[in-house]
Structure 1
């Protein structure tokens, strides 16, 4: 019978000697022989057992459960284990399929975001949109991001993942808009069709812009939109909406940030 030293098993299976010794300590994988010098030797039987251990560990089965199975192997136990493995694999496949769908959606969103017409002011009629809202005054993108996280955590089951796909934003009050406080936010929101509040339907003056959230860059966009409102006799009709389409969650390059401003308006002619 061919025997292998512990170092050979370690190299063959890319498993540390410490792990093999841990398995031995737990009586999960015992060497075939241990000589007077303390050298451990493994046979093909232990190699076969190690294959089972590695497979079961990959499926998330605990070491104690593996030990119990290896010490009481019967046809009934083997059948039960195979059935459990099939259930585990099916669950992992479902999880991977959901992950694939999310990644595909995210990939599509990132591609679409790069096709947005930046810098063009448009008047759009938008439907009512369901949102979760946290009304609190904040001044920086980091504070807004923290509010978004709080909203997410408050949703039952934490089923929301706000940090992508243009689902999150903030409000600027009418008073701050008129005063020119364009980086003073009165609340944050996350779009969700199951939410308990909504952003009203209506006409919105919209602008997508790129770049950092500096006061200069933000003011420049709002001054352009205010000039447009004056030219076309439009007045503010509610809180301003900012939607963060690409931000700190997608890129570290602030010049790649993409934000949409939506100003609710009505004609005063």
Structure 2
């Protein structure tokens, strides 16, 4: 009967000597022989046992359960183990398929984000959007991000992963918009169909811009939109919505940041009519 020293088994299977000694200590894999000087020798019997142990470990089965199985194997226990393996593999396949779908969605999102027309101002009719909201004054992107994290943690089971899909944003009040306080935010939100509040449906003047969240860059974007609104005789009709499509969660290059500004608007004539009617 050919015997192998513990170092040979370690090299053959890529398992550390410490792990083999731990298996011995737990009485999961006992050497065929131990010499008077303490050298451990393994036979072919231990080799096929080690094959079984490795397979079970790859399936996430605990060492105590493995010890129980290896100590007294029967057909019933082997059949139950196979059934457990099949269930485990099915679960892993479901998890992998879910992960694959998430990665495919994320890949599509990146491609879609790269195809937007930067700087183009468009009037869009947007539907109601359900949102979780945290109304608190903040002035930096880091404070906004912290509020988003607080919102996420307050959601049951923290099932949201807001930073992945351009669903997180912040509000700027009408008053701050008129005053030119374009980096004074009075609330943050995460879009989620199960949320308890809403961003109203309506006409929104929308524009994507790229680049850092510096005062100069942001002011330039809002001045462009304000000039457009003046030429088109449009007035703001609610809080400004900023949505962060690509930001610190996707890139360290601030020039790659992608933000969408959405300003609810109403025609000056329509506003005048509504105000007159209200009187």
TM-score (norm 2): 0.94
CA separation in 1, counterparts of 2:9 and 2:138? 59
Tell me which stretches of 4 or more aligned residues in structure 1 moved more than 4 Å. none
Query: Residue in 2 aligned with 1:47?
Result: 47
Structure 1 equivalent of residue 275 of structure 2: none
1:265 aligned partner: 265
> Number of paired residues?
269
How far apart are the structure 2 equivalents of 1:9 and 1:212?
A: 57
Task: Report the counterpart of residue 154 of structure 1 in structure 2.
Answer: 154
CA distance in 1, matches of 2:226, 2:132: 28
Deviation for aligned residue 1:250: 0.9
What runs of 5+ residues in structure 2 fail to find an aligned partner? 270-279
Partner of 2:30: 30
TM-superposed CA distance for 1:157, in Å, is: 2.1
Distance of 1:261 and 1:19 partners within structure 2: 57
1:94 and 1:238 mapped to 2: Cα distance?
44
The residue aligned with 1:84 is 84
Residue in structure 1 matched with residue 95 of structure 2 by the alignment = 95
Cross-structure match for 1:132: 132
Residue 163 of structure 2 aligns to a residue whose secondary structure is coil
Query: Over aligned residues, Cα RMSD in angstroms?
Result: 0.9
Q: Deviations over 1:5-34 (max 9, x none)?
A: 111111111111111111111111111111
SS at match of 1:242: strand
Q: Distance in 1 between matches of 2:138 and 2:85?
A: 50
Distance 1:72 1:178 in 2: 79
Q: For 2:144 and 2:94, locate their aligned partners in 1 and report how far apart those are by CA, in whole Å.
A: 34
Per-residue displacement from partner, 1:82-128 (whole Å, max 9, x unpaired)?
11111111001001100000000000110111111001111111111
TM-score (norm 1): 0.98
Task: Tell me what 1:198 maps to.
Answer: 198
Where structure 1 has 5 or more consecutive residues not aligned to the other structure, the ranges are none
> What pairs with 1:237-252 in structure 2 (closer than 5 Å)?
237-252=237-252
1 CA distance for matches of 2:233 and 2:139? 30
- Report SS of the residue matched to 1:81: helix
Inter-partner Cα distance in structure 2 for 1:104 and 1:183: 34
Give the secondary structure class of the aligned counterpart of 1:265.
strand
Q: Secondary structure at the match of 1:163?
A: helix
